[in-house]
Amino acid sequence: MCGRFTATFEFSDIRVRWNLDVIWRCIHSALTSPNIPVTVRQGGGNECRLMHWGLIPNWAQDPTIGNRMINARAESLTEKPAFKHLVGSRRCIIPADGFYEWRKQGKRKVPIWVYLTSRQPFGLAGLWDVWRKPDGGKVESFTIITTEPNELVRLVHNRMPVILPPKTKSMA
């Protein structure tokens, strides 16, 4: 389960990498918002949007469902009601430069920071949706897709986020 990740790089570094048309407003707003910058496909281009981490499906009655939907298992995406209709149309990239998994050491859990040896930013695969509040407002939210761990992460945890190949520039 990916419950924490880091994004300590300059977001200008990913503007070209992911062909982002709209990023500056998003990053400036992120400084004063609890939401997280996420890259989505919009109108033929990619743009950065601030979203709530923890998917709130558009059909949800209670937004607190998002607290339990920070991750989505890749193996069951097309089976789960909250995710199956998003797979083809609501994919996103979450910019990161590392994520944490916890290793049990006796009775304690110790955080282990996982990152690329190059220390370069990378993208985590995600899905997003829009939930309408009772007052008519909207909440855009996302979940991080997880998968079986690679050989290194397997030493620490039984799941890891899906890390997209470096050439991934869009969600289309």
Q: Select which of 2, 26, 48, 92 is catalytic.
A: 2
Dihedral angle computed from the Cα positions of residues 120, 50, 114 and 11, in that order, rounded to the nearest 10 degrees:
20
**CA-wise closest residue to 63 among 8, 137, 162, 121:** 137
Q: Select which of 26, 48, 92, 101 is catalytic.
A: 101
State both tokens at 70: 């920070």
Residue 136 in 3-state DSSP? Answer: coil
2 annotated active-site: yes
Please state, in angstroms and rounded to a whole number, the distance separating the CA atoms of residues 5 and 94.
10
101 annotated active-site: yes
**CA-wise closest residue to 124 among 24, 47, 37, 46:** 37
Please state, in angstroms and rounded to a whole number, the distance separating the CA atoms of residues 46 and 75.
26
C-beta of residue 124 within 8 angstroms of C-beta of residue 161: yes
C-beta of residue 140 within 8 angstroms of C-beta of residue 53: no
Active site residues: 2, 101
